[in-house]
Amino acid sequence: MSTTQQPQFTLALNLSETAVQQVRGFMEQEGVPAATGGLRVSVLPGGCSGFKYGLNIEEAPLDDDLVLDIQGVRVFVDTFSAQYLNGVTIGYHTSMQGSGFTFENPNATGGCGCGTSFTA
pTM for the whole structure: 0.81
Buried b (16+ CB within 10 A) or exposed e, 69-81: ebeebbbbbbeeb
Average pLDDT over the chain, rounded to whole? 84
Task: Report CA-CA distances (Å) from 5 to 15, 111, 120.
Answer: 27, 35, 28
At 44 the pLDDT is 86
Side-chain half-sphere exposure of 19, counting CA atoms within 13 A: 24
Which domains are delineated in the chain? 14-119 (2.60.300.12)
Above 60 in pLDDT, residue 108? yes
CA dist 7 and 45 (Å) reads: 22
Could you give phi then psi for residue 53, rounded to 5 degrees? -85, 150
